Structure formats: structure tokens, C-alpha cells
Amino acid sequence: MSSTDELLADLDGDADADESAARESSDDSGGRIQRAKARVASPFEGLFSLRGFLLALALSVVGMLAAGVVPLLPSGVAALVGVFAAGFLLGLVRSRRSYLEVALAGAGTAAVATLVDYLLLAALGGFGVPLAAITGGAGLLAGVGGHYFGRDLRDGLTRDL
């Protein structure tokens, strides 16, 4: 073995000893549950924020209601315009990416708004699930598109020349 291989073997042995010592000390203090929570939470950490989702949902509902008062604008289009505007505003204001939160909020807002508008058709005609899926997909695209353009504008405004 070369001196480099011996050095690497010694370092690996020291790292294993440090890990086992840390494992024993955390097992003694009841840290098994905390380590298990950390293992489960770490892959999804930073992926979804409940606070960001609730903010996106509130902005989507407010945007949908605000766009709904525009005369000569059909309610389905108004819902999508409101979701787009909410995603745009969220992308413009927040420094953190919120694509998943905006996508879920936009899909839910558009689907529920359309089902409420066409409640009788959805209930009696059996078109509820396809109608919700189509408008939910459109709301998802509108929200994500708005968020993308808002982040792009924010990046352009804050970038050094």
C-alpha cells in the first residue's frame, strides 16, 4: 500500500469511530426519534412550505375575486387571470421559489371556482371530475406561469448592470 492509501484508511477509520461515538451518545440521550425525524424530513426540507402555500392560496382567492368583478370577463377566465396575477405577485415579492405552493394553490382555486360556477352541471351531468381536472390543470399552469414571470421580472430588476 502506498502512503496515500494508508492515510485514507486511517481517515476512514477515524470518521467511522466519530460516527459510532456520536451514535452512542445520541442513543443514550433518547435521540433516536430526533434522528429518525431528521432522516425523514431532510429529503423534503425546503421543498414545500405550508406558510407559502397558505399565502399563495389566499392571494389566488383574492386575485380570483378581484378579477371576477371585471365586466365582460367570463368567470372561468377571471379565475385563471386572478391565479396568474397571484403567482406573478408572489414571484415578484418573495425571494424564495414557491413553484409547488403556487401550483397547488392555483389548481385548487381554479377547480373549486369552476365547480361552484357549474355546480348543477357537475352534480347532475356527471362532469364534475373531468371539469375539475381540466380547470385544475389550467389553474396550475396559470399559477406557475405567473410565478415564473414574476421571478423573472424580479431578477431583472435586482440584477447589477
Q: What is the pTM of this model?
A: 0.69
As a whole number of angstroms, the distance between CA 61 and CA 154 comes to 23
Please tell me whether residues 73 and 105 are part of one structural domain.
yes
Q: Crossing angle, helix 75-93 and helix 99-117, to 10 degrees? A: 160
Please tell me whether residues 130 and 100 are part of one structural domain.
yes
pLDDT of residue 104: 94
pLDDT of residue 145: 96
| Containing structural domain, residue 32 | 3-44
Please tell me whether residues 86 and 154 are part of one structural domain.
yes
pLDDT of residue 107: 95
- With residues binned 3-state (H G I as helix, E B as strand, rest as coil), the percentages for the chain, rounded to 5, are 85, 0, 15
pLDDT of residue 30: 58
pLDDT of residue 2: 62
pLDDT of residue 80: 93
User: Is residue 132 classed exposed, middle or buried when 0-12, 13-18 and 19+ CB atoms within 10 A define those classes?
Assistant: buried
Q: How many CA atoms lie within 13 A of 133 on its CB side?
A: 4
pLDDT of residue 43: 58
pLDDT of residue 8: 53
As a whole number of angstroms, the distance between CA 66 and CA 60 comes to 10
Q: What 8-state DSSP symbol labels residue 153? A: H
Q: How many domains does the chain have?
A: 2
List, run by run, the mean pLDDT of 10-residue segments along the chain (161 residues).
58 51 51 71 69 92 91 87 95 90 94 85 77 92 96 89 74
Please tell me whether residues 103 and 69 are part of one structural domain.
yes
Please tell me whether residues 79 and 110 are part of one structural domain.
yes
Please tell me whether residues 35 and 109 are part of one structural domain.
no
pLDDT of residue 26: 47
